[in-house]
Structure 1
Amino acid sequence: MAVRDRIAALRGRQAQVHVEMEQILTASEGNDNGDLTAEQQAQYDALAAEDDRLTAGVAREEDMERRRAAAARPVAALPTGNPHGVGSVPAQAAQKLEAGIGFSRLVQAVASTKGQGGMQAVLDYSEKTWGSTFAAAAADNMEQSVDVQGGFLVNTAYSSDLIEALRPVVAVRKMGALSVPMPNGNLTTRKQTSTSNAQWIGERAAIPTSAPQVGNVTMSAKKLAALVPISNDLLRYNSIQTDNLVNNDVTREVAIAEDQQFIRGAVSVSAPTGLRYLANASNVIAANATVNVQNVRNDLGKLRLALTKNNVPMLRPGYIINPTLVEFLSQLQTSTGALAFPEIADGRIGAFPYASTTSVPDNMGADGNQSELYFADFSQIMVGDALQTTLAVSTEASYVDGEGVTRSAFQNDETLIRVIEGVDLAARYDMAIAVLAGAAWFPGAVAGQ
């Protein structure tokens, strides 16, 4: 495990220790005089000692990281010849790459070396293709995995690069859900289960306890695997266009899977539970069957009220909606012929932003003409990211394309990339999500329009 990953693991455990210490203190509030019992004190002291050890461990790892940086050497001298057909690139100044490009280049390096020669072959290819600066960064941020089929474990920096590329194309991430690291693939944190209460009291009367009811939410990495076929012709002619194409292909495959699961994924032990099923049942609202301007406004108001009446902080509120419903709202007119929602052209529904995605179906209901709207305070939604992505390649494997046809990578002169990431989704407060179900909002749905 790399130094940075060990630091992340230590800090992750330290965060859990702090939660457990806080839970002990919260539990002690019900004791006489608010003192800890002997058992609680022993538990607290043990956690405090562990916290001290973790702090010392982080300091040691950070010291080791500084020593490694001071003693860093350039990538080993390259062998003579050029087996990959790519011209050598001299050392370059560090450059800021667009989100996903660094990850895309690692994909290309692994694919072009076909997993042969291990990490050194990947680094040699990176050196020749993108220069020593990128190769040194790659060396610092990858470890060879135990996968004998040519798999590589991509560490925190480049896994984060993939996440940054996903952020603008995965609706839940785009709307501001909080990305939280899951050290060792797990994270336990607190969630709110009800609002607090305050009361007026008389002279010298005891003050009642006034605090939100809380519980625990446990996140664990769910394995998302994507197969991405890449033309070997594309790999042979490297350019910034190739970087972008590979980035787009990988990002698209992972984003589609995340988008669909994060929004409507059913409760499962192997995949994240989506917003639809994280929402409190009382916040799933049936749309008015009669479609007109006033009823549409009323339904949107019900979604907002479902959050505000439960004291949701509304730090990053917004909608997720199907493109068909966006088109409907953009055309909807009042009785005077004015647009009912002119602000939709600016990316808002009323005062709140929206994200449009086909991952919200528009063919639900008995007649196949209904959709859903999601309104949430995305500051209360957490995307757990394990920050360790695995890459593997094959030129012989087969895959099923979008039309259900089995294709051979070897026969089609392609390299098949397998990308595996660990993610989960959770809500800190289930009342922070509201769903409008059965919305038959389609262009032409309003009589006379």
Structure 2
Amino acid sequence: MKEYLAKLLKALSEKNQAMQTALSKASAEGTTPDESTEAEIQAIEKDIAALNINIERTKKQISATEEAAKTATPVAGETSEQAKDTAEGKKEVPRIQVESNLPKGVGFAQYARAKLCSQLAAKNGNFISPVDMAKQMGFGGEVQDLVTKATLGTTTDVGFASALVQENRLVGEFVDMLRAATVFDQLTGFRNVPFNSKIPSQLTGGTAAWVGEGAAKPLTNPTYGEVEIKEHKLAAITVYTQELMRRSDPAVDVLVRDDLIEASKTLIDNTFLDAVAASTTRPAGVLNGVVATPNTGTTAAAYEADLLALINSFVTANLSLDGSYFLMSETRAAQISLLRDALGNSYFTGMALRGTRTLMGIPVITSQAVGDKIILVKTSEILLAQDGGVDVSYSDQATLVDGGTTHHLWQENKFAVRVEKFITWAKRRPIAAAFLDYTPSGG
């Protein structure tokens, strides 16, 4: 900056010298400057004025810089010794982590849309890779990265798992949201086991007794069995129009995310809470083989007596209540929370209309999927096998039947998106759940 000021001052000196030369010419002749000399003088005057402005501006900038230097805090750096420690790994290097600002689970929905729209374009003779489609649709780097990993292989490849089963935050977000939406994954305390395994199970406990001198000791052998954990896969299908999938509106991503979660959670909960036996395609419902405990009504006293009956069914089977849950519909939970005693106080104090609920000290989880039942379940008596991934497939060729509605995908310009997840469970002992049935034909 000071060098620039010196150049400006030198240029000003030269212009002043030129001005003196022009004026001395007229002074020597004793006349006013002629037209050409006047024009030269005016040009020099403009240059001098511009130089003076720039000189003052530069001086102010130099002064401000010098003043700032007096009060500035030096940038923290490393000494040669500190730099050596960093290079040798003795000192951790700070790293900047960039995180996505997408709403949770939307990135996974964008991944599904990118793959789907890529296939749509290919069917129209315009091949665009899923990664390029993600770029065209304005999806971020994380989404593009997930698409890249997922397209390294397909389920028809011999080694497809090595390409598909890769950790990615976007998949984790979707799985977390799916878990939060289901009754099943709000439960904790399951015994995690691998797929396709057999787990020893104690069917009956041993016995013990006081023995007198010289008396025979009782037999104390418990009986055991095996619980087989197979491999089951759930698949949830949702149908969209091709026009909707092509839109760049962010609301479409949220719609796809919510639809995929809703379809998946409904299947998981309905299967877990039913009484159907296990098959090659699905695990058994937690109520399979369980006889309903009779209910005596829906008054406060009746509820109390019936819930104690459920608890007694566990106690009789030598099951503690640690890690157990009551499952019921939101409607029934609200009904129970409104029950009042003679003084107008809540009969079951833990049953708030909103928030965390407990009933007789046992945590309560609500979902309309429970229907007209109240279920008592002990999760430590349930064996669970699941992977952490979700696979997405799609088609525009199939004919799908949804209740009384039939979707002819190709004819109607629709696309079906299928979400698949490997998950299964089995009761470790026959008694892992008990329930009250309040349907018109139950209890």
How does the TM-score come out when normalised to structure 2? 0.63
Q: How does 1:157-196 map to 2 (within 5 A)?
A: 157=167, 162-176=174-188, 178=190, 180=192, 182-183=194-195, 186-195=196-205
Q: Deviations over 1:232-271 (max 9, x none)?
A: 4443344654433212101111111111111014114122
Any idea what SS the aligned residue of 2:369 has? coil
> How far 1:211 sits from its partner (Å)?
8.2
Any idea what SS the aligned residue of 1:393 has? strand
Change (3 A) 1:341 1:143: farther
Report the residue type matching 1:144 in the other structure: G
Change (3 A) 1:389 1:137: closer
Instruction: Give distance in 1, aligned partners of 2:413 and 2:368.
Output: 32
Instruction: Give distance in 2, aligned partners of 1:202 and 1:142.
Output: 73
**Which residue of the partner structure matches residue 105 of structure 1?**
110
Any idea what SS the aligned residue of 1:324 has? helix
**Which residue of the partner structure matches residue 14 of structure 1?**
none
Change (3 A) 1:291 1:313: closer
Q: Deviations over 1:103-137 (max 9, x none)?
A: 32332222121277799922333455433344334
1:400 partnered with 2:405: no
Any idea what SS the aligned residue of 1:272 has? coil
Instruction: Give distance in 1, aligned partners of 2:201 and 2:100.
Output: 40
Q: Deviations over 1:146-178 (max 9, x none)?
A: 559xx9985364666554222122212212263
Instruction: Give distance in 1, aligned partners of 2:432 and 2:272.
Output: 15
Any idea what SS the aligned residue of 1:343 has? coil
Check the 8 A contact 1:177/1:382 in 2, yes or no.
no
Query: Which of 274, 279, 282 does residue 285 from structure 2 map onto?
Result: 274
Give the number of the structure with larger relative contact order, counting CA–CA contacts within 8 Å between residues 6 or more apart.
1
Query: Which of 296, 310, 333 does residue 303 from structure 1 map onto?
Result: 310
Query: Which of 105, 129, 133 does residue 125 from structure 1 map onto?
Result: 133
Unaligned runs of 5+ in 2: 1-96
Between structure 1 and structure 2, the one with the greater Rg is: 2
Unaligned runs of 5+ in 1: 1-91, 362-370, 442-449
1:391 partnered with 2:392: yes
How does the TM-score come out when normalised to structure 1? 0.62
1:247 partnered with 2:257: yes
Change (3 A) 1:327 1:422: same
Check the 8 A contact 1:109/1:125 in 2, yes or no.
yes
**Which residue of the partner structure matches residue 333 of structure 1?**
340
Q: How does 1:311-326 map to 2 (within 5 A)?
A: 311-326=318-333
Instruction: Give distance in 2, aligned partners of 1:101 and 1:187.
Output: 35
Check the 8 A contact 1:182/1:386 in 2, yes or no.
no
Check the 8 A contact 1:195/1:310 in 2, yes or no.
no
**Which residue of the partner structure matches residue 38 of structure 2?**
none
Check the 8 A contact 2:149/2:166 in 1, yes or no.
no
Check the 8 A contact 1:267/1:273 in 2, yes or no.
yes
Change (3 A) 1:160 1:131: closer
1:263 partnered with 2:268: no
1:354 partnered with 2:359: no
CA RMSD of the aligned region, Å? Answer: 4.0
Check the 8 A contact 1:223/1:271 in 2, yes or no.
yes
